[in-house]
Amino acid sequence: MGFPAQRPRRLRTTPAMRRLVSETEVRPRQLVLPVFVREGATEPTPIASMPGVVQHSRDSLRKAAADAASAGVGGIMLFGVPEHHDAIGSGATDPDGILNVGLRDVRAEVGDDLVVMADLCLDEFTDHGHCGVLDEQGVVDNDATLEVYARMGVEQARAGAHVVGPSGMMDGQVGVIRAALDDEGFHDTGILAYTAKYASAFYGPFREAVNSQLKGDRRTYQQDGANGREGLRELALDLEEGADMVMVKPGMPYLDVLARIAEVSDVPVATYQISGEYAMIEAAAAQGWLDRDRTILEALTSFRRAGADVILTYWATEAAGWLD
């Protein structure tokens, strides 16, 4: 019996050896913390399906932003939870809507220490829960929605967002928002495009997080999980329309799409470890079925290995503490 000529195990023999040859690193600066701010809340409200995540009051939001900044986290992504919903999502374009109020609060708290981002989508604000306005047949009207997105983006920029994140998967959204920002003089406000965003069951807990009114699904605008190549088409369009950064979402079930996009994108690529991914790990860890912290780190590392420059994760502040 001959001895193996190649012994990859040599590079795994000691912690120091493994540290020396490790290819991939996750740093706090690469993490973005998604947060929910709820109109009228005086106390943070726990989200049952996302243990450890809350709907913030304005005060607790400011504190969460300050904590993220001191932990060295790279950015924060705000979602608004309004008290009132209507057919056209008026709260989204209202300068005093909760998301815009939250943006002003966060900028007042952290200034430029974090990249402050805003979810640019109507689903939190509409009474039907869809990401756009509906036509007479009840179908999401792409072009009518673009007009609302343009105004929403401008208000978010005015409220202090460094970056807006269109997440509604309307055709042409990046181009229309870019033009509207430029028209209003917001040349330096960036766009993080949710480029390859798939219709996913893993968004389940997010529905509770934003008190979603949605009945039905988003399959006429979000992508079919069977389609990888289509993600590249969306990438080409978003780059042409002026996206500053692009995103693949969800994270773990779509690592192949992330890798394909990261391979060819000439702008930074983000991924979003979404609510269901968070809930799965927390639930299994609570049962004692998974080692929570190791599982989280392994998942974050997988995004980096697949090519993500930026990771949106509800564990951003906590993980930044361990990574430092």
Residue 303 found at the interface with ligand PBG (CB under 6 A)? no
CB of 149 to ligand PBG, least distance (A): 12
- What's the min distance (Å) between Cβ of 140 and ligand PBG? 12
Task: Please give the Cα distance from 90 to 77 (Å, whole number).
Answer: 20
Closest distance of CB 23 from ligand PBG, Å: 28
The site for ligand PBG, by CB under 6 A, has a size of 10
Q: Of 203 and 315, which CB lies nearer to ligand PBG in the complex structure?
A: 203
- CA count, 13 A, side-chain hemisphere, 159: 30
Q: Which of 130, 249, 260, 304 is catalytic?
A: 249
HSE (CB half, 13 Å, CA atoms) of 129?
Answer: 12
* Min CB(52)–ligand PBG separation in Å: 13
Question: Which of these segments, 119-127, 144-152, 280-288, 300-308, binds ligand PBG (CB under 6 A)?
Answer: 119-127
For ligand PBG, what does the binding mask look like between residues 193 and 212, x meaning CB under 6 A?
A: ----------x--x------
Distance CA 273, CA 257 (A): 14
Residue number, 12 or 314, with CB nearest to ligand PBG? 314
Alpha carbon of 84 to those of 75, 131, 145, 211, 228: distances in Å? 28, 16, 19, 11, 37
> 254: which 2 tokens?
């779509």
One of 119, 141, 282, 318 touching ligand PBG (CB under 6 A): 119
Neighbours of 110 (CB within 10 A): 18
User: Is 249 considered catalytic here?
Assistant: yes
Helix (H) / strand (E) containing 228: none
- Residue of 119, 112, 133 lying closest to 81 (CA atoms): 119
Smallest gap from residue 214 Cβ to ligand PBG (A): 7
* Residue 292 to residue 274: CA distance in whole angstroms: 16
Site string for ligand PBG, 223-242 (x = CB under 6 A): --------------------
- Is residue 49 involved in binding ligand PBG (CB under 6 A)? no
Q: How far apart are CA 201 and CA 198, in angstroms?
A: 9
Binding flag, residue 123, ligand PBG (CB under 6 A): yes
Give the Cβ contact number of residue 244 at 10 Å.
17
131 closest CA partner among 183, 64, 194: 194
Q: Work out whether 275 is an interface residue with ligand PBG (CB under 6 A).
A: yes
**Which CB, 274 or 316, lies closer to ligand PBG?**
274
**Residue 255 in contact with ligand PBG, rule: CB under 6 A:** no
Q: Catalytic site residue 63? A: no
Q: Does 121 bind ligand PBG (CB under 6 A)?
A: yes
CA–CA dist 244, 49 (Å, integer): 33
Query: Rounded to 5, what percent of the chain is helix, strand, coil?
Result: 45, 15, 40
Site of interaction with ligand PBG (CB under 6 A)? 119, 121, 123, 131, 167, 203, 206, 218, 274-275
Please identify every residue annotated as catalytic: 197, 249
